Amino acid sequence: MLITSSASKFFKRKHTINVNGQLIDLSNPVVMGILNVSPDSFFDGGKYVIEDAILQRAEQMLEEGVSIIDIGAVSSRPGADAISTKEELTRLLPAVTAIRKRFPQAPISIDTFRSWVALRVIDECGGCIINDISGGDFDEHMFDTVGKLGMPYILMHMKGTPQTMQDDPQYDDIIKDISKYFSEKVRKLTKAGVKDVILDPGFGFGKTLGNNYDLLNRLDSFKVFQLPVMVGMSRKSMIHKLLEVDAEQSLGGTITANTMALLGGADILRVHDVKDAVESVKIFTMLKETANL
């Protein structure tokens, strides 16, 4: 059996997150759609840099069943160039403003590691999830800022920086090492007053090909934290390099990897291809429901 009827009895995980008074139900997995407004993101860079394209993409994702739209203005691909806070805000603020105006009920996540950017966007556009690839390591004020804002926070694990993270990453035991990292960070976030924390083990961020699949194979280890887990593997090199294709041809591999992640306990799938991920979630949810009949 892929899912047993007793599987959910061992851990009482948190099943909702509060985004500015709007509750997102995670009792069944949900899909977060990626909307990159940067010109150099690894898969869709440059596609969504004008307002019409941004709004059309947001509308398409909502029609396909997305639960959260994740908007990012800084590429975090390996070796990506850093940009200034001013440039990030110049890209990010208009995109969030336009989507919030056109689709006011759509939950939004902002992909930023800068507390000032989070503060400015939320002050001008309203509540958003804060998705920080650095786990607070790039900005010492991030945790306190999130606590004061009262917003959910996605805590991701990464070794190094986007410029250095793939320079021979080493682990004693990847699950133990990341679990230790999460334990320390969650304690600091709780002390800062952050109420909703989502864990992201950071596939592709300072991990070798083997590390990524070891992590996927043991994803259920993070259930011990009793916090939602987000997985972002969409069209990454861990898929297309293994399959010896390019990112454009890696949708099938992404669907397979995401399905494995759902079986391993993922609560949020962060993807480029919303419709396909929503279908995977529907099949997984039906499978889970039959296990409880």
Catalytic residue among 100, 236, 275, 282: 236
| 155 or 162, greater pLDDT | 155
Chain Cα centroid distance, residue 56: 22
pLDDT tens, residue by residue, 63-85: 999 999 999 998 776 656 778 99
Residue 45 pLDDT? 55
- pTM given for the model: 0.93
pLDDT tens, residue by residue, 85-104: 999 999 999 999 999 999 99
pLDDT tens, residue by residue, 256-276: 999 999 999 999 999 999 999
Q: Are 93 and 120 in contact, with CB atoms under 8 Å apart?
A: yes
Residue 80 pLDDT? 61
Q: What is the mean pLDDT of residues 25-44?
A: 85
Residue 6 has pLDDT above 50, yes or no: no
CA distances from 25 to 28, 67, 81, 88, 150 (A): 7, 9, 36, 30, 18
Least confident among 161-165, 179-183, 203-207, 225-229:
161-165
Residue 8 has pLDDT above 60, yes or no: no
Catalytic residue among 12, 270, 275, 288: 270
User: Could you confirm whether 12 is annotated as catalytic?
Assistant: no
Q: Can you name the residues that pair with 16 across neighbouring β-strands?
A: 25
User: Could you confirm whether 91 is annotated as catalytic?
Assistant: no
Upper half-sphere CA count for residue 49 (Cβ side, 13 Å): 12
